[in-house]
Amino acid sequence: MADIINLLPENIANQIAAGEVIQRPASAVKELLENAVDAGATEIQLFVNDAGKALVQVIDNGKGMSETDARMSFERHATSKIKNIDDLFHIKTMGFRGEALASIAGVAQVELKSKKTGETVGTYIEIENSVVKRQEPVATDEGTNISMKNLFFNVPARRNFLKSNASELRHIVDEFIRIAMAFPSLFFSLTSNGQEVFHLEKGSLKQRIIQILGNSYSAKLVSVKEETDYLNIYGFVGKPETAKKTRGDQYFFVNNRFIKSAYLNHAVMNAFSDMIAKDSFPMYTLFIDIDPSRLDINVHPTKQEIKFEDEKLIYAFVQSAVKHSLAQYSVTPTLDFDLDISIQQSDAVSKPFTPEKQYSATGTSLYKTFTQKNQAHFIETKSDLETWDKNLLKQNSYDTPFTNNLEIQNGQKNDFPSPFKNPVLAKADKNPTSGSLIQIQKSFIVAENENGFIVIHQQNAHERILYERFAEAMQGKPISVQRSLFPTAIELAPADSVLLNELIPDLHILGYQVEPFGNHTFIIQGSPAGIPDGNEKDSLEKILEQYKHFNMDISFSKREKLLRSMAWQQAIKAGSFLSEKEMEKLVEDLFNCKISNTTPNGKPVFLEFKKEEMDKMFGR
């Protein structure tokens, strides 16, 4: 029988390897930017055309490559960054696997110009499908200029798998931000189709955060900084009032490498618990510097997941460091920071710092002699606290696989008063109510029906109504629009403006007349009827926030996310007084919905209490 095993040709092997490293244009962006950082560049420019599908180009002023190195760099497992297995545990560079350029050259057309510092001529190389097409000397600046064109031109199946330009561009912006955030002392720019989207001058971390996330964070950042023999942590968290409905502005870097860690995220959220509303996410940009031998970054091809030698210790450290800075900023009696276990377990450290405690701390004469000018992050405690929705201050509960020792308690949030342990979810039948409607607690509408009575949650009901109305608009049923008295300008952080551009066509259908106005600015000319004049900007910002929040859930289509965001944003809130007329309209609209009994997210809209069941409860 003939032997059947072949060695794969190099270009095929590279294409397969590329599957892990280069999934989309943004993956190439990450690898090329990291190479520029590793080369010691101080200025790094990124250019993309067609969301990177046509071109991803990175120009750096780093140390460049010799002629031989330039050629070698495209070989698989070719790296200047490690030499033996021991080096793997002392990594100081972003790259080390020697796979990126080989992978890129396997799935795109690549042009490289590079010149080593101090040399007179540089090297030009053109390579496609892993085959070198041209190599010659070239006059070029010191540093490296690499272009990746027509990604996946030779793997059509993968090219077809790419998302819309708007969506691919957003991935690119995400990767760009993660690297630019980690290296504030370097200049970065991002130009998309000839338009400069980011221009980030060298500066401090604080300046970089504001450059990227927007001016709204200036004066709203609390510094985190703790040093121990084991590790250092530094960075910033947003003051509690800047917490948003989206998880977007959260960055963890370990030895300057962006990582995703639900576990460490939980540590920060825990430090914030009781200071922010449930379901809201604080901004954080935190850096952990740790001896590289205490972690394994080689567990994932794109290195976004890492393993720590002692994960629990890091958790405790992160949580304490963040709590400590929040406590300082909130003017608590200062705790001495120490990883000593007895201190760790003391109430002051392990129990959340509640607004009540904060209030009592700031009420003391000790506090009052403590003048504001000594406080770097002074907040107006009383008024701030009073605006916090008491209902939202219940202990947060996060869905995480680890529960011991993490202060997770079940909130009583949606529990119905105890006599009604198992309220029966009523089915949607038309015309289910009779008689007059009563509003209770400015939140619920009680209506009698033939079986008993139903309690409608006004906010959930309105969310359902709006959702169906917007869904119909998407099907072509026009929505009434009011033109703004004065057009409002809205200025967004660069990443958000990329997002808004993506949503504009659908927003038009839904009644928002928004137009780009250059430089991350947009003009709102009109909004769906019902948005109070002057609130157009605010409502649109909230929709974007909510959209980003839903964005974490990739199972929804873009439209679905937008519909849900708008319905959520525009629904009348619990706590709003409704007139008799308004209640009637709400109930009528609700029972004209295709589905009346749940919100788009599956929360109950009304509960039915049947007479016979109530009789039983009363022992009749």
Binding site for Mg ion (CB under 5 A): 35, 95, 100
Distances (CA, A) of 556 to 425, 553, 602: 26, 6, 14
For ligand ADP, what does the binding mask look like between residues 100 and 129, x meaning CB under 6 A? xxx---------------------------
Beta bridge partners of 235: 224, 286
Closest listed residue to residue 63, CA positions, set 91, 44, 38: 38
CB of 73 to Mg ion, least distance (A): 9
Distances (CA, A) of 335 to 109, 327, 348, 400: 58, 8, 8, 28
Judged by beta carbon, residue 63 or residue 558, the one nearer ligand ADP is 63
Q: Which of 98, 452, 530, 604 binds ligand ADP (CB under 6 A)?
A: 98
CB of 97 to ligand ADP, least distance (A): 5
Pick the piece of the chain touching ligand ADP (CB under 6 A) from 90-98, 133-141, 292-300, 492-500.
90-98
Judged by beta carbon, residue 78 or residue 437, the one nearer ligand ADP is 78
Cα 16 from Cα 33, distance rounded (Å) = 22
How many chain residues bind ligand ADP (CB under 6 A)? 24
CB of 293 to Mg ion, least distance (A): 21
Given ligand ADP, Mg ion, none, residue 514, with its beta carbon under 5 to 8 Å by kind, binds: none
Given Mg ion, ligand ADP, none, residue 78, with its beta carbon under 5 to 8 Å by kind, binds: ligand ADP
Span between the terminal Cα atoms of the chain, in Å: 86
Judged by beta carbon, residue 39 or residue 567, the one nearer ligand ADP is 39
Q: Which of 28, 36, 498, 514 binds ligand ADP (CB under 6 A)?
A: 36
Judged by beta carbon, residue 144 or residue 570, the one nearer ligand ADP is 144
CB of 20 to Mg ion, least distance (A): 14
**Contact flag: residue 13 with ligand ADP (CB under 6 A):** no
Helical spans, DSSP H, in 364-513: 365-368, 381-387, 458-474, 494-509
CB of 99 to Mg ion, least distance (A): 8
Given ligand ADP, Mg ion, none, residue 79, with its beta carbon under 5 to 8 Å by kind, binds: ligand ADP
Amino acid, single-letter form, for residue 61: N
Closest listed residue to residue 220, CA positions, set 241, 203, 200: 241
Judged by beta carbon, residue 88 or residue 446, the one nearer ligand ADP is 88
For ligand ADP, what does the binding mask look like between residues 48 and 87, x meaning CB under 6 A? ------------x-xxxx-------x----xxxx------
CB of 34 to Mg ion, least distance (A): 5
CB of 7 to ligand ADP, least distance (A): 22
**Contact flag: residue 97 with ligand ADP (CB under 6 A):** yes
CB of 457 to ligand ADP, least distance (A): 54
For ligand ADP, what does the binding mask look like between residues 144 and 163, x meaning CB under 6 A? x-------------------
CB of 42 to ligand ADP, least distance (A): 13
For residues 235, 241, 244 and 248, what is the CA-based torsion angle, rounded to 10 degrees? -10
Measure CA 443 to chain center.
31
Helix (H) or strand (E) holding 114: strand 109-115
In the complex, which residue's CB is closest to Mg ion? 95
Given ligand ADP, Mg ion, none, residue 273, with its beta carbon under 5 to 8 Å by kind, binds: none
**Contact flag: residue 251 with ligand ADP (CB under 6 A):** no
CB of 256 to Mg ion, least distance (A): 14
Cα 185 from Cα 454, distance rounded (Å) = 61
Closest listed residue to residue 606, CA positions, set 617, 595, 618: 595
Measure CA 318 to chain center.
19
Judged by beta carbon, residue 74 or residue 236, the one nearer ligand ADP is 74
Confirm if 394 and 415 have CB atoms less than 8 A apart.
Answer: no
CB of 58 to Mg ion, least distance (A): 11
Judged by beta carbon, residue 48 or residue 100, the one nearer ligand ADP is 100
Contacts of 294 (CB under 8 A, 6+ apart): 230, 231, 308, 309, 310
What are the tokens at 515?
A: 């137009």
Cα 111 from Cα 56, distance rounded (Å) = 11
CB of 35 to Mg ion, least distance (A): 4
Cα 40 from Cα 408, distance rounded (Å) = 44
Cα 470 from Cα 465, distance rounded (Å) = 9
Given Mg ion, ligand ADP, none, residue 80, with its beta carbon under 5 to 8 Å by kind, binds: ligand ADP
Closest listed residue to residue 127, CA positions, set 143, 145, 158, 104: 104
DSSP, res 353: -
What are the tokens at 145?
A: 């200029």
DSSP, res 604: B
In the complex, which residue's CB is closest to ligand ADP? 95
**According to CB under 6 A, which residues from 16 to 35 bind ligand ADP?**
31, 35
Cα 392 from Cα 394, distance rounded (Å) = 6
CB of 416 to ligand ADP, least distance (A): 57
Measure CA 559 to chain center.
19
Cα 1 from Cα 318, distance rounded (Å) = 62
Cα 104 from Cα 27, distance rounded (Å) = 10
Contacts of 481 (CB under 8 A, 6+ apart): 511, 513, 526, 527, 528, 529
For ligand ADP, what does the binding mask look like between residues 168 and 187, x meaning CB under 6 A? --------------------
Sign of the dihedral through C-alpha 273, 276, 280, 281: negative
Judged by beta carbon, residue 110 or residue 465, the one nearer ligand ADP is 110
Given Mg ion, ligand ADP, none, residue 145, with its beta carbon under 5 to 8 Å by kind, binds: none
Given the rule CB under 6 A, which residues bind ligand ADP? Answer: 31, 35-36, 38-39, 60, 62-65, 73, 78-81, 95-102, 144
